[in-house]
Structure 1
Amino acid sequence: MRKSWKNKLIYSILVIALLLSACGQKETAHHDTYTCPMHPTVVSDKPGTCPVCGMDLVRKAREGEEVKITADLAQRTKSPNEVVITDIKTVKGEHKKLSVTLSAQGIVTYDMRYTYNIPARVGGRLEKVYIKYTLQSVQKGQAIAEIYSPELLTAQREYLYLLRQDANNTTLIESAKQKLYLLGMTAQQVEALSSRQEPPQTFTVYSPYSGYIITPGNAAPAISASAASIPVDGGMGGSSMSGSTASASTSSGTSASTSPIREGSYVTTGQTLFTVVNTSALRIEVNIPVGDVGIIKKGDVVLLNTGSGPGQKATIDFIQPFFDQDQAFMKVRVYIPHAEGLAVGQLVQASVTLPEAEGFWLPKEAVVDLGLNKVVFIETSGIFKPRKVTTGIATNTMVSVKGVSSSDIVAAHAQYLVDSESFIKTKE
């Protein structure tokens, strides 16, 4: 009897222990907490939605459920501006020699060596002006204006007075004649004055040059470096670095504010009346990227293509040694001694074939330009890390790179690995 009672007691104790254990588990489950992934301050003891953003609440990890951060997992959970995980196509660079043809947009402009000023030799008032508009054609010896000048009128009367009153004083007469020459009169005008014995009230100004009239301050046509894209051909078919047709803007300087001087205007001694440009010889200005200027030198042969007929060969005569308005281009001047078929302001395509360049080459798509820095993505165990590189000369498909070795595995399309909202961090 006593043994049966003991068994019942043990059985009761076990039942009570099991009940207490079940109650403990329910109590533990009852104390689970839930929070919002976006707003950690929102905490609840039961599932639901966030009152701030409406997202579903998630249960916090219980004791023993924490994820162990291994070295591999830590590498893969870094910020996307430090590493990228992807299965993008990869390439390896190659050290070799490539023949490069640089091509750039150019524009036909004035040859400043054939630009002349016609100044007012005496001060006075313009009674007539025969030049009516900018870019008007003018020939050497053509009358361009008539000026009333008290100074010149007085000098003519002094010369005539000496001829009438002191004809034997050749010294004074010659001195008076030289004064008329210095004031702008020609030998024919002085001879006509001697024959007529009466000074004209106005003095005719003749053009000493042939060409086209441009007013003072006219800007020569120039290609806009900010708008031009520089195509580069690597000898394997022409294409553009930007993948689009190069564009350019020109400025001929023919606005109304620079219209020719008008009748009735007063001019002073030495003032420029007109500027004549002779277009029998022109020059072409070409914008070359700064990185390519070092490999181009004076005397290199340039092939010019105007889009009509075969190309014309010319020689680089001048490389501008300074920047213009902080632009990343240098101007290369090519002089054209025979300008048949060319017009000022016309766009041309210039090509310079360079000797084979030796370097470490990568596809251009493998390099991403961040402005101040250029970056490639190096793959290690399926993870891509950015690395800063230095680029050199480029062809239509390849670019020479420093900072990458032949054993490095590089992402073939670096632009695909750049998050639009991330800034790439590189280690120096």
Structure 2
Amino acid sequence: MKTGAGIAIGLAVALAAGGGYWLGQRPAASHPEPSVAVATTSVEGMKKERKLLYYRNPMGLPDTSPTPKKDPMGMDYVPVYEGEADDEPAAANSIRISTDKVQKLGVRTEAAELRALDKQVRAAGRIEIDERRSFAISPKFEGYVERLHVNVTGQPVAKGQPLFEVYSPELVSAQREYTIAAQGVDALKDAGSEARSGMQQLAESSLLRLRNWDISEEQIRALAKSGASKRTLTFRSPVSGVVTEKKALQGMRFMPGDTLYQVADLSSVWVVADVFEQDIAQVRTGA
């Protein structure tokens, strides 16, 4: 009985050893481990779920392609799959800004509402005189400044207000010539037509010279009425405004064309503003 049991035990050990040797000699690929097989199946499933959308330019240019291709530099276009995060705005056809950039740009958000959309344009500017309302007082003859009625820059003046008085030998001579010619016309009214016509032409030429020198009609009428020439002539403001420039000094000599005063009408002025190019479309008359 003991001998038979020992033989049975020895035979079982021999069979176990032989079976282990046989299993060890079989190829490993024919017996994949369960965990490896599951992992492989999961990866294959993920690959099958990915859907190719298009290929984008590798340099971020706004160019996409449905098929693989290369850019002019020989670089391959990058594939973009569905659900894949893409930081290239050209590939996603949208603008994506990171949180850091949003904070640096100062982007603000608010609730949507129905209202008129407008924009305020702020620009640095300066006030300037309307060039069409600026007048220069420049005598057309040589003379001297005898007296100043307005002697401060920035002083407001009314139209017709005296500014200064001048003395000019040429002006005195022209006045005497006109008064003599006017008196001669009256004296020769009963004379022959030729003599009366010559004196009339002399009076008209003298009167034209005074008018060319900007002598007012009121002063000419006073000269014709009195028949006596005046030593000085008063220059008056041609417009109501403010004296913006004063070069006249009492006793100074001036030459024809010298600007002694400049008066500007400030009832309407210009605003000259420097507007950026991108805001030019927002600037309109009356806006």
Alignment TM class, shorter chain as reference = 0.5 to 0.7
Say which one has the larger Rg.
2
Alignment match, 2:235: 205
SS at match of 1:172: helix
Where do 1:146-165 residues align within 5 Å?
146-165=165-184
Query: 1:11-410 maps to which residues of 2 (within 5 A)?
Result: 90-91=100-101, 100-167=119-186, 168=196, 169-215=199-245, 260-288=247-275, 292-297=276-281, 300-301=284-285, 314=286
List per-residue Cα deviations over 1:163-216 (Å, max 9, x = no partner). 22344332221221111111121111111111211111111111111100011x
CA contact (8 A) 2:121 2:282 kept: no
Native 8 Å contact 1:132 1:260 kept in 2: no
Larger fraction in strand: 1
* 1:85-131 alpha-carbon deviations (Å, 9 max, x no partner): xxx9634799xxx9754312333332222111111122100000111
- Residues 282 and 200 of structure 1: CA distance in aligned 2, closer, same or farther (over 3 Å): same
Q: 1:297 to 1:272 in 2, by over 3 A?
A: farther
Matches of 1:298 and 1:178 in 2, distance apart?
54
| Structure with greater helix share of residues | 2
Contact 1:122–1:184 at 8 Å: present in 2 too? no
Question: Which secondary structure does the structure 2 equivalent of 1:157 belong to?
Answer: helix
Partner Cα separation in structure 2 for residue 155 and residue 113 of structure 1? 33
Identity, % of aligned pairs? 27
Match of 2:210, SS?
helix
C-alpha distance in structure 1 between counterparts of 2:262 and 2:243, whole Å: 6
2: CA distance, partners of 1:105 / 1:136: 28
CA distance in 2, matches of 1:196, 1:99: 69
Are the counterparts in 2 of residues 131 and 260 from structure 1 also a CA contact under 8 Å? no
CA contact (8 A) 1:146 1:203 kept: yes
CA distance in 1, matches of 2:223, 2:138: 23
Residue identity opposite 1:201 in structure 2:
R
Q: Taking structure 1 as reference, are residues 99 and 161 closer, same or farther at Cα in structure 2, changes over 3 Å only? A: closer
Query: Any gaps of 5 or more consecutive residues in structure 2?
Result: 1-97, 108-116, 187-195
Q: Report matched runs for 1:403-418 at 5 Å.
A: none
Q: Separation in 2 of the partners of 1:271 and 1:188?
A: 24
1:394-418, Cα deviation, whole Å (9 max, x unpaired):
xxxxxxxxxxxxxxxxxxxxxxxxx
Q: TM-score, normalised by structure 1?
A: 0.36
* Structure 1 runs not aligned, ≥5 long: 1-87, 216-258, 302-313, 316-428
Inter-partner Cα distance in structure 2 for 1:196 and 1:128: 23
Change (3 A) 1:144 1:100: closer
Q: Distance in 2 between matches of 1:90 and 1:295?
A: 28
Distance 1:151 1:298 in 2: 58
Check the 8 A contact 2:142/2:254 in 1, yes or no: yes
SS of the equivalent of 2:121 reads: strand
Cα-Cα RMSD = 2.6
Matched position secondary structure for 2:123 = strand
Q: Secondary structure at the match of 1:296?
A: helix
Task: State the match for 1:401 in structure 2.
Answer: none
The alignment covers a number of residue pairs equal to 167
CA distance in 2, matches of 1:184, 1:124: 14
C-alpha contact (below 8 Å) 2:141/2:255 kept by paired residues: yes
The answer as to whether partners of 2:121 and 2:279 remain within 8 angstroms in 1 is no
Residues 28-53 of structure 1, C-alpha deviation per residue, up to 9 Å, x if partnerless? Answer: xxxxxxxxxxxxxxxxxxxxxxxxxx
Corresponding residue of 1:26 = none
Q: What is the alpha-carbon distance in structure 1 between the residues aligned to residue 101 and residue 249 of structure 2?
A: 69
